[in-house]
């Protein structure tokens, strides 16, 4: 892990706390609180989702960054249900086929090395009819999209591998999910490049 990734892992909660309080916590709750059964939290980061997964019977949280895993483990005592934190990445999930009721991606499909493979793995581990829940910033349109394309190489290095210009909605459809509901929202002023945001629920066909 490079120095920039180490910085991002250490600073993540401090950098995002204002956005969480103002916007993202409500969206996380809408997406995650209804989920039941076994839930896979992919790229769980520092464990921000744990308190919102109130109806699950168990949560498997996978996170490849050791610093973020340590921060997530601090949150286990305040989690709403039993959580197991695993060292794994989104492209190679250590779970059997058709073994979970829901897969969650929040603020991670912008960062994974191969989003297509990550979504393929989500299809593999989901039970038929299982839910995919996504909360991500995505590629904009027009001049915003062109600006995102220009600055993503620098942004990616500074922000722990984050891409500004991924077409996540399209990638989910191509992966074979049936989209049940999707909402775009824009919580930032125009000068912030990490927008708009997508809240999406889909099912494994």
User: pLDDT tens for residues 69-79?
Assistant: 999 999 999 89
Which residues lie below 8 Å from residue 151, measured CB to CB, with a gap of 6+?
A: 164, 193
Report, as ranges of residue numbers, the positions in the chain whose pLDDT lies below 50: 1-4
Query: What does the pLDDT read at residue 18?
Result: 64
Q: Regarding the domain with residue range 3-204, which homologous superfamily does it belong to in the CATH classification?
A: Vaccinia Virus protein VP39 (3.40.50.150)
Q: Where are the domains of the chain?
A: 3-204
Pair 172, 199: CB distance under 8 Å: no
Torsion of CA 122, 116, 183, 14, to 10 degrees: 80
Query: What does the pLDDT read at residue 187?
Result: 84
């Amino acid at each position: 892990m490079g120095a920039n990734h180490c910085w991002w892992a250490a600073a993540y909660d401090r950098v995002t706390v204002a956005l969480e309080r103002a916007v993202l916590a409500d969206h996380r709750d809408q997406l995650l609180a209804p989920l039941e059964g076994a839930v896979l939290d992919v790229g769980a980061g520092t464990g921000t989702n744990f308190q919102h997964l109130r109806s699950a019977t168990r949560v498997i949280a996978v996170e490849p960054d050791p610093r973020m895993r340590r921060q997530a483990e601090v949150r286990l005592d305040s989690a709403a249900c039993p959580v197991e934190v695993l060292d794994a990445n989104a492209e190679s999930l250590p779970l059997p086929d058709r073994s979970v009721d829901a897969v969650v991606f929040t603020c991670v499909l912008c960062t994974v090395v191969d989003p297509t493979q990550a979504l393929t793995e989500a299809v593999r581990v989901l039970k038929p009819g299982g839910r995919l829940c996504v909360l991500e910033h995505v590629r904009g349109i027009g001049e915003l999209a062109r600006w995102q394309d220009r600055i993503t190489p620098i942004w990616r290095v500074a922000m722990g591998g984050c891409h500004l210009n991924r077409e996540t909605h399209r990638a989910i459809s191509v992966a074979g999910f049936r989209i049940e509901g999707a909402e775009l929202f824009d919580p930032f002023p125009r000068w912030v490049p990490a927008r708009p945001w997508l809240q999406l629920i889909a099912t494994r066909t």
